[in-house]
């Protein structure tokens, strides 16, 4: 892909897995800086993202007209975004500082992924770094699914999967909890109500949405 920034035309290629991690880290820092309204840090991070994605110096983007830098940023974000929707990203909740483990550190996620992929497939750090973004994410998801299913199998073979209920005086199977992204969401069936239970009289619609989905105010 070609980017026009100031007087320069820069050729960029789509990032591989290692680079993608680095770019996502910058985007996350940019999101947090934007939430705080830190304009100086946001501008630095936009230029850092562009520099990391294109291997061009930061000064090129710092000195260019702002709309060239911003347009390049938007285009590169689109280029380096995963092209599929992976369920593993659907239920992400930021952990609070107090819940983080003592072995956590900034940048740990990359090494966790490398560890999982290397353990499963015997690949080197170099090979893993050069994976396509979608390949890396898909394989990580498969590894996490397999680990969860293995845990559920082992869980089912233990006594603690069948807790005793004093109320019923029986043991019942209690399945192992799954992470949010592995939980199948069931469609809610529309509930039929008896006519005599429906509200009567003049009904004022305060929701702002009409019968046919149009906005009423």
Partner 1 sequence: MDSLRIRDALELHKIISPYLPTPVDEDVLALETIHQIINSMKENNQRAYVDAVLLMSKMSIDELQKLESLDILTLFIDGLGENQIVFLDSFCKKIGMNYG
Could you list the residues that contact partner 1 (CB under 8 A)?
A: 30-31, 34-37, 39-40, 42-44, 46-47, 61-67, 69-70, 74
Shortest CB 178 distance to partner 1, Å:
31
Tell me the C-alpha distance between 56 and 49, whole Å: 10
Given the complex with partner 1, which of 42 and 176 has the nearer CB atom?
A: 42
DSSP per residue over the chain, as a string?
-EEEETTEEEE-----HHHHHHHHHHHHHHHHHHHHT-HHHHHHHHHHHHHHHH---HHHHHHS-HHHHHHHHHHHHHHTS-SS--GGGTT--PPPGGGS-TT--TTHHHHHHHHHHHHHH---HHHHHTS-HHHHHHHHHHHHHHHHHHHHHHHHTSGGGS-EETTTTEE---PPPPPGGGSPPPPPPPPP--GGGS--S-----SSB-TTS-B--
In whole angstroms, how close is the CB of 214 to partner 1 at the nearest point?
A: 19
Residue nearer to partner 1 on the CB measure, 70 or 138: 70
CB closer to partner 1 out of 54 and 114: 54
Nearest approach in angstroms of CB 53 to partner 1 is 15
Residue 61: is it exposed, middle or buried by C-beta count within 10 angstroms (0-12/13-18/19+)? buried
CB closer to partner 1 out of 27 and 178: 27
- In the bound complex, what is the minimum distance in angstroms from residue 31's beta carbon to partner 1? 6
Q: Which is nearer to partner 1, 13 or 63 (CB)?
A: 63
Q: Which is nearer to partner 1, 70 or 145 (CB)?
A: 70
């Amino acid at each position: 892909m070609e980017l026009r920034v100031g007087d320069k035309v820069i050729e960029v290629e789509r990032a591989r897995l290692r680079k993608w991690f680095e770019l996502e880290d910058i985007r996350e820092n940019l999101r947090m800086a934007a939430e705080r309204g830190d304009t100086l840090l946001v501008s630095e991070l936009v230029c850092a993202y562009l520099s990391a994605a294109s291997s061009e110096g930061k000064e090129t983007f710092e000195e260019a007209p702002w709309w060239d830098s911003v347009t390049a940023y938007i285009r590169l974000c689109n280029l380096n975004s995963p092209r599929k929707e992976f369920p593993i990203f659907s239920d992400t909740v930021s952990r609070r500082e107090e819940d983080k483990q003592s072995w956590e550190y900034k940048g740990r996620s990359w090494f966790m992924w490398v560890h999982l992929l290397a353990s499963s497939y015997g690949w080197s750090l170099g090979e893993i770094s050069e994976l396509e973004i979608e390949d890396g994410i898909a394989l990580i998801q498969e590894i996490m699914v397999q680990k969860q299913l293995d845990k559920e199998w082992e869980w089912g073979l233990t006594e603690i999967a069948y807790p005793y209920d004093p109320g019923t005086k029986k043991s019942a199977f209690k399945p192992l909890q799954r992470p949010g992204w592995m939980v199948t969401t069931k469609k809610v069936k529309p509930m039929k109500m008896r006519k005599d239970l429906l509200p009567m009289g003049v009904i004022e619609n305060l929701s702002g949405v009409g019968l046919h989905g149009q906005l009423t105010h």
